[in-house]
Amino acid sequence: MFHPNKNKLLQLFEKEGSERELKALHAHVADCPRCAQYLQRLQRIERALNQLEEATPPSYSFMLIQNEIRRRAALPVPEPPAIRMRPLIQIVGVIGTMLTMVFIIQRWLIPTAVWDRLQECELVTILGQYGSLLVLMFALISFFVLAFTPILILEKNKTVFPAK
Best CA proximity match to 5, nearest among 30, 31, 34: 34
Q: How many CA atoms lie within 13 A of 152 on its CB side?
A: 6
Supply angle C-alpha 39, 40, 43, rounded to 5. 90
User: 5 or 157: whose CB is closer to Zn ion?
Assistant: 5
The residue type at 21: E
Quick one: which of 12, 25, 35, 102 contacts Zn ion (CB under 5 A)?
35
Window contacting Zn ion (CB under 5 A); options: 32-40, 74-82, 94-102, 146-154: 32-40
Does 12 engage in binding with Zn ion (CB under 5 A)? no
Window contacting Zn ion (CB under 5 A); options: 27-35, 50-58, 75-83, 108-116: 27-35
Window contacting Zn ion (CB under 5 A); options: 35-43, 80-88, 98-106, 141-149: 35-43
Length of the chain: 164
Quick one: which of 10, 24, 32, 137 contacts Zn ion (CB under 5 A)?
32
- Other C-beta atoms within 10 Å of 77: how many? 6
Binding site for Zn ion (CB under 5 A): 3, 32, 34-35
